[in-house]
Structure formats: C-alpha cells, structure tokens
Amino acid sequence: MRLPSGGLIDRSHPIRFSYDGHSYQGVQGDTLASALIANGLKTVARSFKYHRPRGIMTAGSEEPNALVTLGHGAGQEPNLRATTLELYEGLAARSQNCWPSVNFDLLALNDLAAPFFGAGFYYKTFMWPRAFWEMLYEPAIRRAAGLGALSGLPDEDRYERAFAHCDLLVIGAGPAGLMAALEAARAGADVILADEDSRMGGRLNADLTEVDGRPGPDWAADVAADLAQMDNVRCMSRTTVTGAYDHGTFSAVERVAMHLPHPGDAPREAFWRIVAKRAVLATGALERPVAFQNNDRPGIMMAGAVRSYLNRYAVAPGRSVAVFGNNDSAHATARALIDHGIHVAALIDSRPGVQTDLDVPLYHGQVCGSEGRKGLEAISIATASGIEKVQADCLAVSGGWNPSLHLTCHMNGRPQWDESTAAFHPRPGMVPGLEPVGAANGVFTTADALAQGRKAAQAALTDLGLKPANIPLPKAEDGAYDITPLWSVPGRGRAWLDFQNDVTVKDVKLAAQESYRSVEHMKRYTTQGMAPDQGKNSNMGALAVLADATGRSIPETGTTTYRAPYTPTTLGAIAAGARGKGFAPERFTTSHAASEEAPMVEAGLWYRPSYFPKPGESYWRESCDREVGYVRNAVGICDVSTLGKIDIQGQDAGEFLDFVYTNMFSTLKVGRTRYGLMLREDGHVMDDGTTARLGEHHYLMTTTTAAAGQVMRHLAFVHQCLRPALDVQFISVTEQWAQFAVAGPKSRELLNSLLDHDITGETFSFMGCGDVSLGGVSARLFRISFSGEHAYEIAVPARYGESLFRLLRARAETLGGGAYGMEALNVLRIEKGFITHSEIHGRVTAFDVGLQGMMSKKKDFVGKTASERPGLMDPDRERLVGLKPTGPVKQLTAGAHLFNLGEDAVRQNDQGYITSVGFSPTLGHFLGLGFLRNGPDRIGEEIRMVDHVRGIETTAEVCHPVFFDPQGGRARD
C-alpha cells in the first residue's frame, strides 16, 4: 500500500513493470520489493527445501526470501534480490522455485513431509546403494530443492572489468562513511567512496535521523554532492565491495546499467579491483531475526526494513502492524508507523520493565507463533499471564543488530564477542590498513558513527603523511543501545533460523544431539549459512542455539566468519574482460591474410595453417600428402615465424651459450649455425633449436614455438640469478622478423629467382647463414632444414612478411611446389626422426632421445650434473625409437601404449608409448615416434600397440627413428 505522502521517491514518474506476468505500477525511486509492497503482494517466493510461501523480509542485499528471475533466453538472470533491484520501465520479473505458481506450488508437499527432511537428511537417507544416487536421488532432489535456473545459453550482456587506485577507500556511505570520505577528500587525499545502494546515506535514508539539524537524507545528499564535485574523489554508488585481499586490494561489483531499460553499450556490471593504501569499513549493521514458531510467514519482516519501506519508499507493508523486539529498534518502528498513520496492533518487548510513551498496546513477552493462510493474519504472544492472540497483517521483528564486519574476515581474521551489544565486533587489524567504524564497528548511534568516521580518516591521513582537514563534526542523535539477547522463543513446531536454506532451531538442536558440536560441523550438517545470503541473517541465531543446546557460552561455542564475496556475484562480472576474444590474445603471423583457405591450428596463442586445401580435395590427408610431396620433390613454403628468436650480444655471449646449451657455441664460426640442446637444471630436456653466430659477440638463438616464453625466462634466470657477472644482453626478436622455410630440391632455384644476388653451395653451405637482400630489403638467410631436404629459412622485417610469403608461394607453385602447413611439416620431421615437444615433453633426458653425444664433457652447463644421475642413464629407460605398423591394422595412434607380444595390455606390462604419428606418402605407410624400454637395443623387434582410449590395436616393428635418408645427404648436398 502506497502512503499518501513522504518518501524519497518521485511520484511524478510512474513506472510500469510486471511480476509473474501481471502488470503493476511503481514510481521512480522504488525497488522491485517496495513496488510489490505498494501493490499489496505478500507471497513473492517459495522456500528452498519445503517450498513454503515466503514474503519480503528485509530492504537490503541480505534479503533471504525475495529472490526473482529477470529476463528470458540468454539474458535470463536468476536469484536477484527484489530488495536491491531498482525499478525501471518494463522490468519483467518472475518468481522462482515454485511450480506451477508462487501461490500454488505442488512441491509444497515437501512441507508435509518435513519430518523426513531434517538435518543430515541427505546424508542419512541416500547413502545406499550407490547407483541409486546418480540415477534417482540426485536428479529428484535437484529438481525439488534448488534456487532459480540459468538459461544455459551464452550470456550476451556486456560486462566490464576495471582497476582503480586510491589513498583511501571508504566502503559504505552512511553517516560514518560520508564523514570519513569528506574528511579525507578535504585533506586532498585520493578517495574512492563505494556504496551498495543507488542513493548515498545508508540508514539515514531509512530512519530520517537528523544530522546537523536537518533531515538525514538531506545532509547525506549534500555531502554526496560535495564529494562528487571534487577531482580527487570517485563516488561509486551501486557498487558493492565484495572482497578484501592482500596488500590493500579489494574487489567490487558495480551495477552499471542494471537499473536501465535501455543500457545501450553500457556494461550491465563492472568488476573492479581497487587498490587502496588505507580503507575505512563503514558498512553499517544488519538486523537479525528472532526464531519462533512459523516465523517465516509472509508479512513477518525486520523492524528496520519496515522503517525503510515507510520512510524511504512511502509504502506500508500492512494495515495493522505488530512490532516485536529485544531492543529499541522495535520502538523506533512503532513510532514510525504511528507517524505515518498506520495502526500499531501491539508492541511486544522481550526486555522486562521497558516502557514506552507511545500510544500503543505494550506487551512484555515474546511472540510465540503466527497464523494466516496466504500471509500473516494473527500472532500469539506469550506473556507472564499466558498466551494472547493479536490480529495483525504484518509483524516487524528486531532481534538486535550484527555489525557488517564481513570484509574484516576475508583474510582469516576472527571477530570477538561483545556482551553489551550481544554481537561480534571486529578486532583491530583483522585486515591490515582497514579500519571499521560506526555500526560496522559495533557503535550504534549516529553521533558516534560520524565521530568514528572522521577519526579513522584522520588516522589514515596521518599515516599517509597528509594533514587532516579536521572538518566540523555535525550534531546528531546520541541515544544508548539497549539489548537483552533473545535468539529463539521456546515452543513447539518449527522456528526458522536460516530462511533461505530452510534450517530450523530443531535442525540445529538435532545436529548438536548427533555430536556435531563444532559450528563448522553443524553448518555442514544442516546446510545453515550455505545459501546465497551466506548466513547473513542466520549465523548468529544458529550459533546461539547451538551454544544453548551444548551448554556453552557463545564465545566458547565458536565464531562467525565470512568469505568473499560479500554478496552473490555473477560469473559474468567475475569473468569480465576475459570472455570470447578477451580470453587470451590471438597471435597472427604476417602470412595469415595470405593463407585464407587454410584451416588454422592453435599453437600456444599463435594461429598456424594446418594445411592448404585445393579444390577437389575432400580430406585433410589428401592436402597433407600433396604438401609433403612439394618438399620432397620440388619446393615448399612454410611460415616459421612463430619459433622464438632471441638476439644475444656481448663479449661473454659465447660463454653464456656454452652454459645454457649442452654443446659448445663459443667455438661456432661466424656465419655458421648449430643445433643446440638445452636442459633444465634437473637434467631433463627443456628445449632445442638452432643458434646462429652473426658476429664475434652476436648470436641469434631459435627456440621452439611452444617454449619461446619459457626459454626467455630461463635465460633471464641464468643470467640474473646464476651468472650475473657475464657481460651479455639479450632480447626477443620473434616479432621483428617474418621467417619462412623454403624447403625442397628446388629451394635454391626459387631463392635465386628472388634474391638480389644469387647464392651458391659455397656461399651458403649446409648450416651456413648470412645477410642477403630482396628488392633492396635486407634479409637473413639460414641454410637449415627441419624436413631433411635441401632447405633454407629466410627472414625479413615483419612489415614485408605478407608480401614475401605471397611471392614465395607463387614462385613455388610455378616450380611444382607450394605452401605447406603444420600437418605436412609434422610428417616431414617424423620421416626424419626430428623431435618436437611431443617427444621432449618434460620427462625425457638427452639420453632418452639419443642425444647424449651432445653433452659436452669439457664444460659445466645447466643440467649437466643432474643428467648424470644413474637413474637417468639407465639403458632400461623408455628411449626414442621409430615404429611402423605390421599388423592387419595399418595405423598407429599418438598416445597408444606399447606391450610385448603375448602380454596383457595392462599398466604392469607397459613397455612405452607413442608420441607422434603420421602417414608418410614418401614411404607409403604410417610412421610413429615413441619411447620404448631399452628401445635402441630392440630395433627389428615386433611390439604390440594398444590405444585403450580409441580402442585401436595393432602390432608394430621397432625401427631406427630416422626413417628417411638416414645419411642426411639430401640436406647437405
């Protein structure tokens, strides 16, 4: 019911919205919750387990009941709290967790079966047999018990991630936070003020507390406006600080465009990482319920929330309202009701002897039950003289206030129990640099909040070497907070502690009875505190009931703690900036645009062509076989720019290379290239590649594509951490040069048709390198081969890469060749027994790949000592061999395992495995490389290959890994 006047709303702006398909009207400034109350809706949800009807309970992000789903299709978003959803034109919300409707839910049958659904029910009932769990129990339980559903479609909304830095982060813009922000801002500090609400002011907007002789909301609005104008302040409303992390890092979620009907390109939410030198926690406090029989009936709300609805939204949650509490919050609500002309049916105070000057029926006692079919109709009050029934359609409850200290717990700090406020308070220093103030610090008067806010800001300023501004402290209310703890009202029936997860007092008592006496065990047994509200409403009550049931005090029983995030956070927000194309950079070679027809394969972040299909080719193997033929018979062109290239200079460059490679490089002649093998310090192979000597103190190292980054880091490690005295500098030039393999018997012919000056076998002999030019552009030419053919790699500055690739490709085609991709490259190198990271996968030694001869005896190098450990030189190790199929199945598969003929294909009999395979069009059959126990001594043996995953089995002959041209004449001549 909308009140005739008042509220921080704009009645001149009506807003149409729908809920469960029905149209309603609200006004600008409403939340969905206030608009539903304005329209008289009581039951807005069904509970998690028992499907009991539930109503709006709070006016904030802690709301356990009023969860709704917005949108349809890809945009569907479940579990949004109606209490924080700002109303906008056309908003369409629906209730969830009910079928067919929120008012008539068939699964409410669960409620009748409640005796069977107590604490530990899942654990006890569905233990056996195991198969039933997967087939029967779990699907049924998941359908019956669960919160809203996702669409299962990709989320098309825009999300944003962002970073911010400041001197002081103020979390919460109530009186304490505003005061802290203003003090720091006036002192010239960089301030970020983040507040969850759309409107700054915190409880001032709900209670209309006077500050500085003016209504609180006005004072708050003025301060917020002041702050917004200052260059050194960033005011972030609709922003929830969700986590506190090491060294002043905080996460925050900003709801950027969720409150707008047409957001355009604006992100729905932004995920902020804020780095603050100091922080002030001014997050206020959350009111807690009292457990009594049927305390979950729609119409039963928090007392502070009722004030919010009356004062801020000008809606009345009932016509005849009862108020029940153990502290002064109940009285404040009764007063607000009277101020707004609402009938107060009863004021029930559990504290003995407390009086009121309000003209309301005052009861000293406790509410012990509720009645009503679709919502609250009457309450029962237990007093000294017996039980009395009072008609009311709304009950406002206050069990006291819990400081919102959640963020202080995020780094494993534990709060301390405070007897006078019957609540946990933060201890100093729980999060370094974060100072809790005001209600978040257990101080419940506005005057104290203002003072603490200013004081904390001043302390932070002093720490940061800034002079406090010492802004005047406004006058405000300074009443005492008086509370007598009341957690649960004795009586029969079910009394709810955790509304969101349907956990009752009985469940907690049962847990205690069954020896789950630790809070952590009780929580897991009952699922208390595990719903999206993370126990904000229930942790304290459950702890108190557990304490009572186990005969201990609250601090003896345990403590409450909280993890990030403070409120449920969408995965879309967390993943902002890292979805789709934002997930990882894409690296393209310069020839990418000239390789349009080629399907691409991802090699790390690089995209490389798999093969270049020709019209009429229907299967990749046809293309691959053709491309292998180019290289073996004519000339093939392949972009090899993705290989890591590192430019190394300095007078100790040779010595440096001698230390990182197993073989010698200081002896390499200028103008020559050498294959090098690099080990990890533990003796296993890290990487291999060729390194050219370009000058006396100048080398160019090549790494594999996969290990380029790792090798760069390794070189930096070796230089900085092991041999800093070496005079050497190195830098990656991978991006500078576009490099192409020109491979095949006609490669020199092709090059000579392009180069400004012809090359010969003398000027560029095998493993030679040097400068050349094409069309006046200087280039580098290396006579190296990864195919076993007469081959070169030519490198030009990357700007010319695409142009050169097109030229090379066109010339190759006139010579009966063309471009080749990764598939052909792989077959070519397997035919030659050349290894890649399929073979040097991290567990193999130089000995395993047959390269022990490359380990120099004359010098120390990284990995030398460790590689000589006996276990790494054992002939019985799995060592590199070639394989070709001999059985009826003429195929080999990578990943298949090897077994002796006649032995079972089980782990105990494992003889090795296959790492690379390919069909060799040159030799007309499949080839494989793999590792076999004592392999080199078993050449000619027949072995059994079993691929358990693909279900393929064959026999294979163990061969020397070099299948083609073992003498290597084709590359040298």
Partner 1 sequence: MIELLAKTPCDGLLPRTIGTVTLTEISFEAITSVAPLTGQEDAVSGTLKAQMGAAFPKPGRTTGKAHARAVWSGLGQALVLGPALQPIPGAAMTDQTDAWACVALEGDGARDVLARLTPLDLRPSVFRQGHAARTELAHMSAVLMRTGESRYGIMAFRSMAKTLVHDVTEAMTSVAARTRL
Partner 2 sequence: MRIDCPLCGPRDRREFTYQGDALALDRPDPEAGFGVWNDYLHNRDNPAGPTRELWYHDSGCTAWLVVTRDTVTHEVHRVELARDVKEAGK
Chain residues in the site for partner 1 (CB under 8 A) = 158, 160-165, 190, 256-257, 260, 263-267, 273, 275, 577-578, 581-582, 584-590, 605-606, 647, 649-651, 720, 727, 729-737, 754, 756, 774-777, 796-804, 807
The alpha carbon torsion through 854, 860, 864, 868 (nearest 10 deg) reads 100
445 Cβ contact partners less than 8 Å away, ≥ 6 residues apart:
476, 477, 478, 479, 480, 481
Please identify, using beta-carbon distances, which residue of 620 and 717 lies nearer to partner 2. 717
Looking at the DSSP bridge assignments, the partners of residue 285 are: 403
Instruction: In angstroms, give the least distance from the CB of 714 to partner 2.
Output: 10
Report the candidate in 591, 634, 631, 57 with the shortest Cα–Cα distance to residue 288.
57
**Using CB under 8 A, which of 14, 90, 432, 479 touches partner 2?**
432
Instruction: In angstroms, give the least distance from the CB of 275 to partner 1.
Output: 7
Phi first, then psi, for residue 381 (nearest 5°) are: -120, 125
Q: Does 275 bind partner 2 (CB under 8 A)?
A: yes
Please identify, using beta-carbon distances, which residue of 417 and 717 lies nearer to partner 2. 717
Q: Does 948 bind partner 2 (CB under 8 A)?
A: no
Q: Does 438 bind partner 2 (CB under 8 A)?
A: no
Please identify, using beta-carbon distances, which residue of 331 and 811 lies nearer to partner 1. 811
Question: 578: which DSSP letter?
Answer: S
The C-alpha atoms of residue 914 and residue 843 are separated, in whole angstroms, by 14
Give the DSSP H or E segment for 774: strand 769-774
SS3 of residue 772 by DSSP: strand
Q: Does 265 bind partner 2 (CB under 8 A)?
A: no
Please identify, using beta-carbon distances, which residue of 128 and 163 lies nearer to partner 2. 163
Instruction: In angstroms, give the least distance from the CB of 866 to partner 2.
Output: 6
The C-alpha atoms of residue 657 and residue 640 are separated, in whole angstroms, by 23
How far lies 291's CA from each of 314, 555, 952, in Å?
A: 28, 20, 64
**Using CB under 8 A, which of 722, 810, 906, 923 touches partner 2?**
722
SS3 of residue 798 by DSSP: helix
Tokens of 821: 């991709």
Q: Does 585 bind partner 2 (CB under 8 A)?
A: no
Give the DSSP H or E segment for 104: none
**Using CB under 8 A, which of 109, 136, 153, 716 touches partner 2?**
716
The C-alpha atoms of residue 758 and residue 966 are separated, in whole angstroms, by 30
How far lies 637's CA from each of 2, 544, 630, 733, 742, in Å?
A: 77, 76, 9, 21, 5
Q: Does 577 bind partner 2 (CB under 8 A)?
A: no
Q: What's the Rg (C-alpha) of the chain?
A: 37
The residue type of 145 is A
Q: Does 655 bind partner 2 (CB under 8 A)?
A: no
The C-alpha atoms of residue 800 and residue 736 are separated, in whole angstroms, by 11
Tokens of 666: 């200081």
Instruction: In angstroms, give the least distance from the CB of 500 to partner 1.
Output: 32
Supply the DSSP string of 465-520, one letter for each residue: T-----PPPPPB--PPP-B----B---SS-BEEETTTTEEHHHHHHHHHTT--SHH
Report whether the peptide linkage leading into residue 129 is cis, meaning its omega lies within 30 degrees of zero.
Answer: yes
Instruction: In angstroms, give the least distance from the CB of 581 to partner 1.
Output: 5
Query: What does 309 bind: partner 1, partner 2, none (CB cut-off 5 to 8 Å by kind)?
Result: none
Query: What does 164 bind: partner 2, partner 1, none (CB cut-off 5 to 8 Å by kind)?
Result: partner 1
Kindly state the number of chain residues that form the binding site for partner 2, as judged by CB under 8 A.
Answer: 27
The C-alpha atoms of residue 124 and residue 323 are separated, in whole angstroms, by 40
Q: Does 860 bind partner 2 (CB under 8 A)?
A: yes
Tokens of 173: 């813009």
Instruction: In angstroms, give the least distance from the CB of 657 to partner 2.
Output: 17
964 Cβ contact partners less than 8 Å away, ≥ 6 residues apart:
788, 831, 832, 920, 922, 923
Please identify, using beta-carbon distances, which residue of 29 and 885 lies nearer to partner 1. 29
Stretch that binds partner 2, among 129-137, 705-713, 765-773, 885-893 (CB under 8 A): 705-713
Please identify, using beta-carbon distances, which residue of 142 and 247 lies nearer to partner 2. 247
Stretch that binds partner 2, among 114-122, 382-390, 533-541, 864-872 (CB under 8 A): 864-872
Instruction: In angstroms, give the least distance from the CB of 735 to partner 2.
Output: 15
The residue type of 208 is L
Residues in the chain: 973
Query: What does 903 bind: partner 1, partner 2, none (CB cut-off 5 to 8 Å by kind)?
Result: none
Please identify, using beta-carbon distances, which residue of 551 and 775 lies nearer to partner 1. 775
Please identify, using beta-carbon distances, which residue of 161 and 864 lies nearer to partner 1. 161
Query: What does 854 bind: partner 1, partner 2, none (CB cut-off 5 to 8 Å by kind)?
Result: none
The C-alpha atoms of residue 811 and residue 754 are separated, in whole angstroms, by 9
Please identify, using beta-carbon distances, which residue of 698 and 864 lies nearer to partner 2. 864
Query: What does 126 bind: partner 1, partner 2, none (CB cut-off 5 to 8 Å by kind)?
Result: none
Q: Does 681 bind partner 2 (CB under 8 A)?
A: yes
SS3 of residue 710 by DSSP: helix
Tokens of 387: 């039980």
Q: Does 733 bind partner 2 (CB under 8 A)?
A: no
The residue type of 522 is M
Q: Name the pairing type of β-strands 249-255 and 269-281.
A: antiparallel
**Using CB under 8 A, which of 4, 353, 580, 724 touches partner 2?**
724
**Using CB under 8 A, which of 721, 888, 901, 973 touches partner 2?**
721
Alpha-helix runs per DSSP H in 2-52: 32-38
The alpha carbon torsion through 450, 455, 456, 458 (nearest 10 deg) reads 130
Query: What does 588 bind: partner 1, partner 2, none (CB cut-off 5 to 8 Å by kind)?
Result: partner 1
Please identify, using beta-carbon distances, which residue of 532 and 604 lies nearer to partner 1. 604
Instruction: In angstroms, give the least distance from the CB of 852 to partner 2.
Output: 17
Query: What does 16 bind: partner 1, partner 2, none (CB cut-off 5 to 8 Å by kind)?
Result: none
Query: What does 722 bind: partner 1, partner 2, none (CB cut-off 5 to 8 Å by kind)?
Result: partner 2
Instruction: In angstroms, give the least distance from the CB of 906 to partner 1.
Output: 43
SS3 of residue 951 by DSSP: coil
Q: Does 858 bind partner 2 (CB under 8 A)?
A: no
**Using CB under 8 A, which of 147, 854, 866, 894 touches partner 2?**
866
Query: What does 528 bind: partner 1, partner 2, none (CB cut-off 5 to 8 Å by kind)?
Result: none
Binding site for partner 2 (CB under 8 A): 163, 245-249, 273, 275, 411, 432, 681-682, 709, 712-713, 716-717, 720-722, 724-725, 860, 864-866, 869
